[in-house]
């Protein structure tokens, strides 16, 4: 099970990385099976790659998905094996199926679905790792609005060890990047869905952590936001917690609102104006 802090990090950043203990040679065997696979099986991954069911049933994976989606979650139809061969170029930024195929009902203040990305080999920076933008999962962005975006402040790359799994909110902005190496980089992706609303936290929750969690939801920002966005993003985070925590809800308005140290210089008015305008320096 994930901890309170891992859940808070997922709400803030839109992803978490888990590293299940696999059986010896498990990742190597999966990699080899992918390497000799004659064609992409599309959504029929378990049929073409039976060993992947061990990963889907791994206690660490089940625990993490139960934490995020509640008990009784289901694996969605679909899934995809990504092969990034040598000498490719980066994909554009995108959200998976955000504007099509009946996925318009996803909420920015809930965790109703999750995306799993499994890497069967070590992924280095030159192998075209997946790039994600932390905190982007609450932004609904059409492909059209993303077309001029390239390098973004705070973007991170999935340079992970073999066997690592990146679990993300379904709306996280991501892309495969260019593979500059001479090695093929594989990734197996699945989507999962919540089937019921939680009556209580489905993770390893301790009520004593609530004040710390609240502080993190109020103050941690993986990317620079405009003044409007601080307000809306903050509210959406707390609503997300409340939507998945059942009985462990927290008040929308923080008791510590506007508290904290006095400004060192410039005065509160100046500081507020600069925050409002998103001004730096």
Interface contacts to another protein, rule CB under 8 A: 89-90, 93, 108-109, 125, 129, 131, 136, 138-141, 145-146, 148-155, 157, 175, 177-178, 223-229, 232-233, 235-236, 277-281
What distance, in Å, lies between the first and last C-alpha atoms of the chain?
Answer: 42
**What is the C-alpha radius of gyration for the chain, rounded to an integer number of angstroms?**
20
Cα–Cα nearest to 217, from 242, 231, 238, 203: 238
Q: Which is nearer to another protein, 153 or 257 (CB)?
A: 153
Q: Per the structure block, which two tokens stand in for 274?
A: 């600069």
Q: Confirm if 192 and 159 have CB atoms less than 8 A apart.
A: no
Three-state DSSP state, 245: helix
Q: Which is nearer to another protein, 75 or 221 (CB)?
A: 221
Q: Which is nearer to another protein, 91 or 204 (CB)?
A: 91
Taking the complex as a whole, the smallest distance from the CB of residue 128 to another protein amounts, in Å, to 10
Q: Confirm if 5 and 216 have CB atoms less than 8 A apart.
A: yes
Query: How many CB atoms sit inside 10 A of residue 46's CB?
Result: 15
Cα–Cα nearest to 60, from 133, 99, 118, 10: 118
Q: Which is nearer to another protein, 75 or 234 (CB)?
A: 234
How many angstroms separate the CA atoms of 73 and 63, rounded?
11
How many angstroms separate the CA atoms of 118 and 36, rounded?
18
């Amino acid at each position: 099970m994930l901890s309170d802090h891992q859940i808070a990090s997922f709400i803030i950043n839109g992803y978490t990385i888990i590293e299940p203990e696999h059986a010896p040679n498990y990742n190597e065997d999966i990699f080899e099976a992918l390497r000799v696979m004659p064609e992409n099986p599309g959504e029929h991954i378990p049929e073409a790659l039976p060993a992947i069911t061990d990963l889907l049933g791994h206690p660490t994976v089940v625990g993490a998905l139960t934490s995020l989606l509640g008990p009784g979650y289901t694996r969605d139809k679909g899934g995809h094996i990504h092969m990034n061969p040598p000498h490719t170029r980066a994909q554009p930024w995108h959200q998976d199926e955000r504007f099509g195929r009946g996925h318009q009902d996803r909420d920015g203040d809930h965790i109703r679905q999750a995306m799993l990305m499994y890497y069967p080999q070590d992924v280095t920076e030159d192998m075209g790792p997946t790039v994600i933008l932390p905190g982007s999962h609450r932004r609904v962005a059409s492909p059209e609005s993303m077309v001029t975006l390239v390098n973004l402040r705070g973007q991170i790359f999935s340079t992970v060890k073999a066997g690592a799994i990146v679990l993300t909110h379904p709306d996280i902005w991501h892309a495969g990047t260019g593979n500059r190496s001479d090695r093929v980089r594989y990734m197996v992706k699945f989507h999962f869905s919540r089937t019921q609303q939680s009556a209580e936290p489905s993770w390893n929750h301790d009520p004593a952590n609530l004040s710390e969690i609240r502080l993190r939801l109020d103050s941690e920002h993986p990317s620079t936001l405009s003044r409007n966005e601080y307000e809306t993003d903050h509210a959406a985070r707390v609503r997300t917690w409340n939507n998945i925590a059942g009985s462990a809800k927290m008040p929308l308005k923080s008791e510590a609102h506007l508290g904290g140290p006095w400004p060192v210089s410039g005065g509160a008015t100046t500081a507020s104006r600069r925050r409002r305008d998103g001004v730096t320096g």
